[in-house]
């Protein structure tokens, strides 16, 4: 369930910078296949992407396969969610948190 889907696209080290600069608001879900909490969070990210996909771009980054981004952002725990606004890191969420928490962070960054 953690792989790319219709609403959440997969990115890698090579395409990361372009992806986070490509939209006003971007959420990147950093995960790994062996991570239980990542699998628990995956349906939440998918649902948020379905509901907010017209205003926020959603991506998944496999930390096992992308050491450059993992090192650059010092990812020590997964799942880690990064929210970028206009290409700049605006917020970091660590752990399998409830949908309402992530949604609140996104709503605070969306234009009113």
Full domain range(s) for residue 31 = 9-109
* CA dist., res. 61 & res. 12, Å (int): 6
Convert the pLDDT of each residue in 27-86 to its tens digit.
999 999 999 999 999 999 999 999 999 999 999 999 999 999 999 999 999 999 999 999
Confirm whether 2 is domain-assigned: no
* CA dist., res. 89 & res. 40, Å (int): 24
Give the closest residue to 59 by CA, choosing from 12, 109, 111, 110.
12
The structure's pTM equals: 0.93
List active site positions. 35, 38
* CA dist., res. 36 & res. 69, Å (int): 21
Confirm whether 94 is domain-assigned: yes
Counted domains in the chain: 1
């Amino acid at each position: 369930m953690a792989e790319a889907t219709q609403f959440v696209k997969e990115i890698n080290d090579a395409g990361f910078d372009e992806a986070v600069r490509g939209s006003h608001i971007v959420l990147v879900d950093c995960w790994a296949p062996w991570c239980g909490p990542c699998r628990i969070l995956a349906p939440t990210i998918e649902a948020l992407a379905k509901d907010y996909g017209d205003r926020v771009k959603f991506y998944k980054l496999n930390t096992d396969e992308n050491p450059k981004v993992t090192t650059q952002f010092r990812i020590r725990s997964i799942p880690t969610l990064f929210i970028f606004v206009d290409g700049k890191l605006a917020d970091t969420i660590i752990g399998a948190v409830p949908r309402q928490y992530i949604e609140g962070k996104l709503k605070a960054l969306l234009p009113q």
